[in-house]
Structure 1
Amino acid sequence: MGLEEIVSFTAVPNEPSQRVMQRIGFRHEPALDFDHPLVPEGNWLRRHVLYRLDRKGWEGLVKHL
């Protein structure tokens, strides 16, 4: 597909999903964490964390599948 990177995000409280992302090689990018625009202000799920996996990382991942 020619992608340079893959990004993934989840709500801060969703620690199991964050652990999966970390386990398969995604790296947390704290500077890119954000409040999800479709989650109402004040909702405990509004804050999201963003993870990235660069081309080298996802190519290595695909080889192991």
Structure 2
Amino acid sequence: MDMNMSAFMELSLSKFLETVRPLMPLLEEVERGEREPSDVKAAMRIWLAHSVGQELSERHQVVESEQPS
């Protein structure tokens, strides 16, 4: 793997871990049997859709920043 690809992978992994870090306590609760996996799966879908979708919307200016008067 060349240096550019290695740096890209490192940045991508770092971004992914930053995105899912808030979900780790939920996954630990599933491991301990305190929470249903289906509940966590739903929470993960909502969280990822919001965190990734929000960034894409801002990057591509899908949502207007000002409210019309």
- Higher helix fraction (1 or 2): 2
- Higher strand fraction (1 or 2): 1
Structure with bigger gyration radius:
2
Report the TM-score when normalising by structure 2.
0.28
Question: More relative contact order in 1 or in 2 (CA 8 Å, sep 6+)?
Answer: 1
